[in-house]
Structure formats: C-alpha cells, structure tokens
Structure 1
Amino acid sequence: MGIPHLTTFLRPYATLDSLKGKDIVIDGPGLAYHIYHICLGTKKSAGNYFEANPSYKELGETVLAWLDGLERSGAAVKRIYFDGRLPPAKLDVRYQRLNRNTQQLEKYHKEYASGLRYRLSSTNRTTSTSFPFAFSPQRPNFTKLPASSFLVPAIIEALQNSSKYKHLVAIVPGEADTYCASYVSRYGGTILTGDSDLLVHEIGTDSSVSFFQDVEVSSTADSWTLQSQIFHAGSIIKRLGLPPSYGIRALAFEIFMDCHGSFSKLLKQAIALTAINQHQNMYQDFVKEYLPVDIDVVTLGSELLKPSVVKAALQVLDPRICEYVLQFPYFMKCLGLFHSSSGSKDGANNINVFLPFLIDSPSRTNAWEMSTSIRQLAYGCINLLLPVEERTTSVFENKRQANASRGREWEIPSASDISEACIEVINFLHETRSKHKGQSVADHWTSISFAQDAEWSESIDKVSLGKKVLAGLQISDPDDTIRKTSDWDWDMIHVMAQIQGSHYSFRILKQMITFLTLIGGRNSVPLPLLQLNDMLQNLPCLSDLNGLEKMDSILRTMKETILGDSSQKIGISTATSAEVSKQKKKRKRDNSNKTGTANKKPTNPFDVLGTDW
C-alpha cells in the first residue's frame, strides 16, 4: 500500500544508473498496472475512459515488449512474482477499495447518464521511438474508472504463454513484494516495483529497489540502453546514519506514526529510535508484513500433499482464485505455511472471494449475477479435495456494492452433488451449441452468455436485458466506413459486462477443474467433471476476449444470430426442459413467502435461482 512520503524523502539519495548487468526481480501486480498506464498514455486522441481503455491483447503485447526491452538493455530478469493471497489483516482495506471503486462507477454513471459517444478512430495508439519506456501521463478523464477488470490475469496469461518468460512467473501463497524482497535478500539484485513498501523490507545491504516509472532510455549512451534511479539500501542507510539493525524501517515507522512530520525531524527521531522505543508493541505489529519468507519448497510429512505438487498446481489459477484455495488451512499446511484467519472482526471464518470489478450499470443488478451458478459449481469443486472437517457449504462473493456490506453469501454444492451439477451444465452447453451451429468459438461463448441472461431473467420474472438491447439495436452495414462513431447507452455497457462476467465465470470453473486434476490426477476426478472440462478447453483466452472495443460488432452479430433465428426464443430456458422450467416456477411460488434464507442444500448449482443466504 506504500508508506506516505517515503519515496520522496529518499529520492535525493538514489543514484541514476544503467540496468545493464543487473539481476532484476519484478513485482508482478505493480508491473501489470504500470503496463496499463503506459497503454493509456498512448491514446492521445481518446475522449473518454472507454476509448482510452486498452484491449487485453494490447496489454499482453506491451508487457512482452517491455520485458524484451529489459533484456535488450543487458538486464537479466530472474523472477516475476504475483500475489496468490493477500494477508487477512488487509481485508478491511480491500472493502474500502471496493467501496471506492463502486463510488467511482456511480459518479461516472451519473456524469454520463444519457450514455456516451465512442469513436473508433480515437482508439488508435501514438507511440514514440522509446516506447514502452517513455512514460506519458494520462488525462484525468481516462482514470475516472478502475483499471481493466481482468488486467492482472491478462498480464499473467501473456507471460505464461511466452516461451521466453513463462519460467520466470510465480503465483505465490502470499504477497508478491514479500517474495521479491526475500529473493534479493538471499541472492542479491534489484527489485522493480511501484510500491514504496519494498524500501522497508529486509532486502540486504547489497540489494536495491527501483520504480517502474523511473526506468527510461538513456539519452547519452552510444547504444540503446535503459537506466533508472536506484535506491541502494546499504548506501542509503549509511548516508542517513540509520541504525544498521533497523535500517530504513526506523524511518518508515516514524513516518507511520507522524505522516505530517518534516524529513529532518523524522530522520533525527529515526536515528534515535524514538518511536520504536516508545511504541514497541506497535512497532512489532508494523514490521510483521515486512518479515521475509522462505521462497523454497519445504518437505513435510507423508499425510499431506507434496508441497511441490501444490505449488505447481497453483500456477494454473488466477490470483483471486488462488486466494480462494489458500483460505483453506489444508493447502497452507501442505505448503508448510502458517494459516491465519481473517483480520476483520465480522468475517473471521468466512471464505471470501473478491471478484474483478466489472464496469457495468449501477442502476441494474450486478453484471456478475446471471452467471453465479457457474461460479457456485467452481467453488464447490474444492470440496472434492478437502478433508471432511474443512469442507465448506458457502462462500462470500465481494463485488460492486452500494453500501458497506461485507459480500453476499452463496451456498455451494457438496462433494456428492458435483457430478449432477456438471451434467446440468453439460446439457446446457450442448443445447446452446446445437442452436447456433457454425459460429466462431468467440461468438459461441458470447451466445452462451445471452442464453444465461435469458434463463436468469425468466427465473426472476424480468425481461431479458440482452434481448431488449438486441431488439433496439439499429443494424448498419459492417462495411460502411463512413460510420465511425457509435452512441453507447448503459444498457449496452451492462450487457458487455455480463458477457465478460460469464466468460470469467467459466474461466474460474475451468481453472478449478484443472487444479483438481493436477492435485489428484484425472482418475480422481468424477467423469462428468472431466467431460465438462473437455468442453471448456476452447474457452477463449483473455487476449481473445471480446472487449468493449468490439461492442458494435458483437451486438450486431448476436442480433443476427439470436433474434434472426425464428426457432430461437431467447426467453425460454436453455439449460433444462420445459418441464423442469415449470418445476422452477412452482418452486419459486412455494418459496415466495420466505425472506431469502435457504433451507435446502442445492443439488444443482446451475439452477439460476442459485441459493443465497
């Protein structure tokens, strides 16, 4: 999260140096956001967030170009670490961030209540010869909304698909910055990050920290090379006269206790260890998150899974799904790590999932809602691996919320219910595919999201938003080059968010099934789950995901495919027979007087009425 003013105070003590010959360890989440802002800086003619927002393909290409530039400059990248689990103590901070994102979206929605204009010509990039190392500030208009929903997973995916860099990527059972610090503390090197917290970690007196925004092309070198401001820990500690056994932590703690103090005052107190001596217990709590970790795999007893097996299996999971898995003590024990419960008073034993923040319409039900059943099944898969005493019956999902609520609790299937639920999803996918033969892979999965929307809308007696948007869409000639501007309303934006939420829900399911097979082998996984996994293999990667930049063509294609097919009635159930649909309506009538508390364990999490508490 960063220590306020620490980088500013220490910047005069940094030295400009070439990166040639340096061993580099990279803070992965920081890299992802740096790449995002680099891409925003190239959209010189964009007029709003949506025009400036880079595609996932563009983000992936840029991060590879950035790493190629480091290599070309003579630097050697040793590791790229990504968070696999954030400390429970930061749960309250995450809720605050989620509320802040929600407020940003609500404010933007109010500012552009009638919609906005999207000009395809304004999405073009303008780059300099030093791209992607010429960092250009973005206009405030581009950052009025949170970064791309799947930014970090998209960057990881691009790196893992690269034969050159995939062996450097590690999703770790903790925070990336802790692993970066522990690596250079043992082996030496320079950490590239965007977080001033790395200056506080124990990195060793021979190691250093540099910030992404400081990396630039040298203007004086005869050959192309990169340089940056280097914060050499040992040198700074010595020049400032800080106690060697405490180092920069002493100054950081003084700032933590008095963030408005002057540098000279805080430095004098740090040298004398004033705050540390006066607040020893607070200091011990302060330094906990900066303690080193063991970056090697440990050896444990035979009653647990081998740490190397678990560590390898975690690499197929996106960070937030990895975090879901690592909330169960069993897997932390397998890794030889201590499991701590939530740092939030009202969520000590809850299993929390923080879903990526979708840019949808705040005036409508969250765009994640209609694909909840797929995620319920995905979360339930963990029960096939856990000891009986750790199996869970529910999870709390955290997404856009209009108040300070602590997530929504969803019931998930037990181990014995997984196979039946899989069969329902398989039947749904087969039926949708049979109605839309000849589609491209991307269009097939988009059609599935419209079918989910239709099923979910019917279950709550509402008109399908997807159907409404498609019915009102004016079809133009796709080859008409004169039409370069589109008028978007928030219903269209919401439908696109639903498409993305559907895609990512299936991605979670695919990753969880893959995790099961890597842990226990295919023979340990129920056959319906394996069959479903086979059907998910052509799910597009994030770089091929239909994003907002393709909204017009996607909606045009869906209108022709779905509404143009007289045999397709978008309002009917697409997952079950007409008889089962009647049973759902009867069940809904039977439950009409209930307050929403579930008394029945769901045997079919694909039921779009999905049980919540």
Structure 2
Amino acid sequence: MGILRLKYHLDPYLERVSLQNENRPAQGLPNVQSVVIDGPSLVYHIHHRLLSWSHPELRYPDVQPTCDEVSHGVMTFLLNLAFLGVKIEKICFDGALPPSKQTTRLARLEKSRRRLGSFRTSQLGCSLASSMSAKVRFESFENILQSRSLPPNFTLVPENPFIVPTVYEDLRQRWTKEKILQTVPVPSWMSMVADRLEFVSWADITIMVPGEADCYCAYVAKQTGCSILTSDSDLLLYDIGSSGSIVFLNSINCERTESESRTTAQRLCPMTVAKQLGLSTLLPLAFELNLRPRAGLNELIRRSKVIDKANDPASDFSHFTREYLISPNIRIDQVEQQYPQSLDTRVSEVVSQYILRETYLHKRSLNMYLVMLNEDPKRQCAWMQGRLFRAMGYSFFNLTQAPHKRHDFIIEHIRRGDRITADLITLKNRPWVRSEMQSLLNQLDVVRLKTGMEIDCPLYWRTFALYTILGTQTGIQNLKPAQLEQFLTCGYMDNMLNWEDVHTSAQMQSVLYSLRILKQLIEISETPDKETTQICAFLAHLPSLHVLTRSTHEMRAEYAMSISAKNVIERSVLFLWNNSNDEAEDIEEPQMMSDNTQSQRFEDRGATHRQRMPIKRKRRENSYNIFEILSQQ
C-alpha cells in the first residue's frame, strides 16, 4: 500500500525505458520486453487517466468513468502492449489481505468517507441537466496511453466502487478476440492488432492469488526477470532479483506520429539503486523513512547503513521486513488449481478466512470490508439495502463448513453516519436459511411472472432491486408515474439529478451486488439442495458487473436502443400493482445492534433482533389504469 515519500526520495534514480520487444528499435533507450501486472493498480490507473481526459464541463455522475469504460480502457492498454510486442507473464489480483492491514484498510475507508462528504458539499455536486448527456465524455479510449494532469475540479470525484471486480471478471470472461473485434473501432490500430493475433486470451494469465498481488508479482519478476507494472512503491522492497525492475504506471506515455509510435516509461531497479546508495537492499531505507517521514535522504541513508551492517538487527526491523518476504510455498502455476478463481475480491477474502484461517482470520472473527458506495453520506448507508441477501450468503457458506470451523457472526465494516464502524451480522441456522431462500425464490419468480420480462434482461434485475427498496421505505405513496418513468429511463425523478436519486441508485447497486455475493457463496459451496439449485438457476442470469452497474447515462442509452420508456414503466408498475394485494409479512432480519452495545455484541450474540416492519398495502377496487394505480400507492 506504499511507504509515504519512498518514491519521492528515489525519483533521481529513475531510468527512462521503452516498452517494446528486442526486435523493435529502442532509439537509445533500454527495452522492457516482458511484464507482470499488478491488477488493481492498473485498474485505478486507467480510472484516473479516463477521469483526467473527461470533458471539463461534465458534472457528477456523468464525469465519473463507468465500470464498462474502465474495462474498455484496460483492454486498450493491454492491446497496446500486444502491439509493442511486450509479453505479459501474469496479471495478478488480490484474493485477500492479511489482518495486519486492518488499520490501513479502515483508514482508507475513512478517507473515502471524508472524500465523499467533501464532494457532497462541493460545487461539482449533483446537478445533471438533460442536455449534459449529449456532451462528449472523452475523445478516445486511446487517450489512456497518454498522461495528463487531473483538472482541479475533478480531484474530489469519488472512484467507482466496482471497477476492480468488473475488470477481473471481464479479463477472464469477456475480452476474447471475437468480442474485442466487435467492440473496437474499425478500422483502427486496435482492430488490426486484435485481428492479426492468432489467439487473444487474457483469461489464461489473469489470476486471483491467495493473498496480496504484490508478493506474487515479485515472485514472477524474480523467476522471469521481467518488470512489474504497478503504482505501489511497496514492490521496491521485495527481492525481485538483479534484473527485476519496477515500472510505474503513471509514467507510461505513448507518442504517436505519422511515421512511428513509441511508448516510454520510467523504472527503478531496486538492487541497482540500493548499491548506488551503499545498501544491500532498500528495506533499511524504507524502515527509517517509515519512522522518520520528514527526514532528508542523506540522514535516512546514514541511519540505514547502520541497520544494514548490524549483525543482529533490532526486532522491530525484523518485524517490518517480514511483510516483504516472498513465501517459499508460492507455486504460481498451481494457483488456479488450489484457489478459487470465480470470486470477487471481497467474497474471496471471506472464503480465505475459512480455508486459510491461520493466515487471514483476524482475532477469530470474520470480517467483510465493504467498499464505499457513491451514496448520499447524509442518509443511512446504502449497504443496509441487500443486507438480508448478504446474511443469507454468509450463513449458507458457514453451514457448509465443518462444525469446528463455523462462526457465530461476521463483522461488516461500513459507514454509519459520519464514521466507519463495525456492523455485526449473526449467522443463522439451516431452517432460517432455507426459509429465506424460499422467500427470495418466490419474489424472483413473482417478478418474472408478473412483468413478463426475461431474467437475462438488466431491467428485470433493476425492477427487483427497486421494488425491494420501495418495499422497505415510507414514501412510496408519494411517487408519481412521471417520476418513476423518469428514474427508470434517466436515473433521476425530477428535472435534474439530486442526491436522493444518487442514493436510490446506490441502494439498487447494494441490492444487486448483495445478490451477486449470495450467488458466489452458494456456487462455491457445492452442496446443492432444492432451494439452492433453484436460486442458482435464477442468479446464474445476473448480468455481468459492467452491465449490472451501469450508470445513468448508460441506462439512457440502453433504453433508447431497446425497450421504450412507456413499456418499461408499464411492466414495472404492473409488477408493483399485482404485488400490492399480497398479505403483509413479518420478515426477521439478521441481528443489528447500535454502537452503544458493541461490547455486548460479542458476549450476547443472540439476544435481540430488529424486525422489518410489515409492508401494508390496501386492495384497490375498480382501478385498472396502471398510472392511476401508481398514483394511489
């Protein structure tokens, strides 16, 4: 996650290089011919590049690069490496982070929360006029190959929370040669590159590792002598051999002219730099910098040499270096056989706390670090929608484990008000899970039957999510047909987008992603019964993340190309009406306690439950117009 100011002190030792194979002239620059890629670093780098090239007049949420756009950007980046003849050894994604990183992770969540709060009050804010949808977002995906400073008014724009799992999924399932050729402009250098490659499959080299991607990237670099593409200065501290190097993603720049194209970057060779500083490795320097972040380089070097020459290093230094050791048990060629590859990182981490409990279980408690959604920070956390579905997934997976490996609860780290806090979810027994799965199955089937929509249709899932949200909130009776139509087709209910619309969209994402968590935890359990088999059959039709997380402007384009707005609202409203005659049900939710009872949670985990209030809907007589029906709700 980076040692503060480490790269800053080492900037004078950066070396300019050319990304290309040995068969292409380097014009006096050393060649980087093969790389291993830090997957999350690449994803956030592309997001930053796309944001920096966004139209300066765009406002939120249109200014925020979408999951699909980031995935396109990553595809373009990798195609450029293929064009240059650079071999990609592996693209590594984190499967789990060690408990020692909890403080850092909570600090990052808090930083994201504060950033969202600052953005909420900024002038960029939420003010989306309908005309903004016609503006060009950015000129071309090729711009991600060229560096550009981020406009000052974009610095507070929050990151899209689902870009990493989206890119991981797309690299393994979406970006085949055929799909690339269907997507890229024709003719273009990208189509020519994709067309001439005999076989394009990034699925074979994209892996979810049982741990941090850093360690596995370092292992590949040491074994092959390749460079590591990353934004993380931590990788300078691993032993990557005498020929291994770190190429920083933000230094990559493509220069194209009519006669040639060249992609350059800057790299650091840790062993070479260490020798220039009179050290055996850069670890003592990083250790001293961690202790004295304001010290100058000369003082840091002097202190580092004392540590470097010590026969018996201090225990705190030994503890510091332990984090950067490459495990002798790493077998990169066996990762796919030994570790699940079909999970998102957050789900993978939950699974790791069971199957690798000695390494990843923190104080004998399960933990889930949910990403910060792009929500209204002045309202209840959007993750509270979908909480029931996540609890079903956690509980089901827990029950498939041996009795001595089971847990009584899982702790979700989410926003509550103006802070990040722990929210405990009790893991339930088999009858509860079976009952809730049957209830979910009934709801999914009702949506399908009453709307007549195919379950492959994204609108089917958005309708389900929206109905779930409306059924747990007051105010549904105040909705007007025009507002619902506007929201389903444009993403906002009135003339302009406001934070209430943003929050509703975040709640919908919470419901849909919680269903995805449930789906993945059921699938990896491999213990089918009647309910789980039927649920899996439904959830197998959940769209890919780049579709499931479509932005408001992507939804507008989707509806314009397919189903009419009137047809959309008719199906959705018809579903609401048909279900308004159902009997109200009392549904027990998993345990949730306030912060004031946090100490009690771990002592009396089965004490109390918050009850979901029954949804009361009155039967309407002699009213058959769906718009009239909705206005009466």
Task: Name the TM-score, length of structure 1 as normaliser.
Answer: 0.82
Which of these residues, 356, 359, 370, is aligned with residue 332 of structure 1? 356
Structure 1 equivalent of residue 628 of structure 2: none
Structure 2 equivalent of residue 376 of structure 1: 391
Per-residue deviation at 1:94? 1.5
Per-residue deviation at 1:37? 0.8
Q: Matched residues in 1 for 2:419 and 2:486: separation? A: 44
1:477/1:422 CA distance change after superposition, 3 Å? closer
Per-residue deviation at 1:34? 0.4
Q: Matched residues in 1 for 2:47 and 2:529: separation? A: 40
After TM superposition, the structure 1 = structure 2 runs for residues 27-42 of structure 1, keeping only pairs within 5 Å, are: 27-42=38-53
Per-residue deviation at 1:455? 2.8
Aligned AA (1:536): L
Which of these residues, 509, 533, 536, is aligned with residue 533 of structure 1? 536
Q: Are 1:126 and 2:133 counterparts?
A: no
**Cα deviation 1:129-161 (Å, max 9, x = unaligned):** x63310222223323143101010111112112
Structure 2 equivalent of residue 454 of structure 1: 470
**Cα deviation 1:43-99 (Å, max 9, x = unaligned):** 123433422112222111110110010111121001111111111111122122222
Which of these residues, 507, 514, 517, is aligned with residue 523 of structure 2? 514
Of 76-85 and 350-359, the range deviating more from structure 2: 350-359
Structure 2 equivalent of residue 292 of structure 1: 326
After TM superposition, the structure 1 = structure 2 runs for residues 492-507 of structure 1, keeping only pairs within 5 Å, are: 492-507=501-516
Structure 2 equivalent of residue 268 of structure 1: 302
Q: Are 1:568 and 2:576 counterparts?
A: yes
Q: Are 1:139 and 2:151 counterparts?
A: yes
Q: Matched residues in 1 for 2:572 and 2:167: separation? A: 36
Per-residue deviation at 1:415? 4.1
Per-residue deviation at 1:275? 10
Per-residue deviation at 1:384? 3.8
Of 434-443 and 374-383, the range deviating more from structure 2: 434-443
- Judge conservation of contact 2:207–2:336 (CA < 8 Å) in 1: no
Of 264-273 and 27-36, the range deviating more from structure 2: 264-273
1:35/1:275 CA distance change after superposition, 3 Å? farther
Q: Are 1:422 and 2:416 counterparts?
A: no
- Judge conservation of contact 2:38–2:229 (CA < 8 Å) in 1: yes
- Judge conservation of contact 2:60–2:124 (CA < 8 Å) in 1: no
Structure 2 equivalent of residue 73 of structure 1: 84
Structure 1 equivalent of residue 167 of structure 2: 155
Structure 1 equivalent of residue 34 of structure 2: 23
Of 422-431 and 131-140, the range deviating more from structure 2: 131-140
Structure 2 equivalent of residue 520 of structure 1: none
1:319/1:415 CA distance change after superposition, 3 Å? same
Q: Matched residues in 1 for 2:586 and 2:4: separation? A: 58
Q: Matched residues in 2 for 1:507 and 1:191: separation? A: 32
Structure 1 equivalent of residue 497 of structure 2: 488
Which of these residues, 411, 428, 436, is aligned with residue 451 of structure 2? 436
1:132/1:112 CA distance change after superposition, 3 Å? closer
- Judge conservation of contact 2:255–2:261 (CA < 8 Å) in 1: yes
Of 264-273 and 429-438, the range deviating more from structure 2: 264-273
Per-residue deviation at 1:190? 0.3
- Judge conservation of contact 2:586–2:612 (CA < 8 Å) in 1: no
**Cα deviation 1:102-155 (Å, max 9, x = unaligned):** 222223223469942241134521248x63310222223323143101010111
- Judge conservation of contact 1:104–1:144 (CA < 8 Å) in 2: yes
Structure 2 equivalent of residue 591 of structure 1: none
Q: Matched residues in 1 for 2:487 and 2:499: separation? A: 23
Which of these residues, 348, 351, 362, is aligned with residue 322 of structure 1? 348
Aligned AA (1:363): K
Aligned AA (2:302): K
Of 7-16 and 145-154, the range deviating more from structure 2: 7-16
Q: Matched residues in 2 for 1:103 and 1:277: separation? A: 45
Per-residue deviation at 1:564? 4.5
Per-residue deviation at 1:405? 5.2
**Cα deviation 1:566-610 (Å, max 9, x = unaligned):** x7339848xxx51xx25559xx9xxxxx999874799xx9x9579
Q: Matched residues in 1 for 2:295 and 2:312: separation? A: 17
1:584/1:237 CA distance change after superposition, 3 Å? closer
Q: Matched residues in 2 for 1:558 and 1:350: separation? A: 48
Q: Matched residues in 1 for 2:377 and 2:487: separation? A: 32
Q: Are 1:44 and 2:59 counterparts?
A: no
Per-residue deviation at 1:420? 3.0
1:413/1:428 CA distance change after superposition, 3 Å? same
**Cα deviation 1:342-371 (Å, max 9, x = unaligned):** 2xxxxx232111122111122322222121
- Judge conservation of contact 2:376–2:502 (CA < 8 Å) in 1: yes
- Judge conservation of contact 1:183–1:295 (CA < 8 Å) in 2: no
Q: Matched residues in 2 for 1:544 and 1:294: separation? A: 40
Q: Matched residues in 2 for 1:52 and 1:279: separation? A: 51
Q: Matched residues in 1 for 2:530 and 2:485: separation? A: 44
Q: Matched residues in 2 for 1:51 and 1:3: separation? A: 33
Aligned AA (2:265): S
1:217/1:120 CA distance change after superposition, 3 Å? same
Q: Secondary structure at the match of 1:116?
A: coil
Structure number with higher relative contact order (C-alpha < 8 Å, ≥ 6 residues apart):
1
Q: Matched residues in 2 for 1:132 and 1:115: separation? A: 26
Q: Secondary structure at the match of 1:225?
A: strand
Q: Matched residues in 1 for 2:343 and 2:479: separation? A: 34
- Judge conservation of contact 1:85–1:326 (CA < 8 Å) in 2: yes
Q: Secondary structure at the match of 1:273?
A: helix
Structure 1 equivalent of residue 552 of structure 2: 548
Q: Secondary structure at the match of 2:74?
A: helix
1:160/1:281 CA distance change after superposition, 3 Å? same
Per-residue deviation at 1:506? 1.1
**Cα deviation 1:207-256 (Å, max 9, x = unaligned):** 111100111225799643322112122322222221x2xx1112111211
Identity %: 24
- Judge conservation of contact 2:377–2:418 (CA < 8 Å) in 1: no
1:608/1:275 CA distance change after superposition, 3 Å? farther
Per-residue deviation at 1:549? 2.3
- Judge conservation of contact 2:7–2:233 (CA < 8 Å) in 1: yes
After TM superposition, the structure 1 = structure 2 runs for residues 274-423 of structure 1, keeping only pairs within 5 Å, are: 280-294=314-328, 296-297=330-331, 309-311=337-339, 314-328=340-354, 331-332=355-356, 338-342=358-362, 348-404=363-419, 406-415=421-430, 417-423=432-438
After TM superposition, the structure 1 = structure 2 runs for residues 91-106 of structure 1, keeping only pairs within 5 Å, are: 91-106=102-117
Q: Matched residues in 2 for 1:428 and 1:474: separation? A: 21
- Judge conservation of contact 2:219–2:326 (CA < 8 Å) in 1: yes
Q: Matched residues in 1 for 2:52 and 2:469: separation? A: 36
Structure 1 equivalent of residue 3 of structure 2: 3
Q: Matched residues in 2 for 1:479 and 1:456: separation? A: 22
- Judge conservation of contact 1:134–1:216 (CA < 8 Å) in 2: yes
Query: Could you list the runs of 5+ residues in structure 1 that have no partner in the other structure?
Result: 300-305, 343-347, 518-523, 589-593
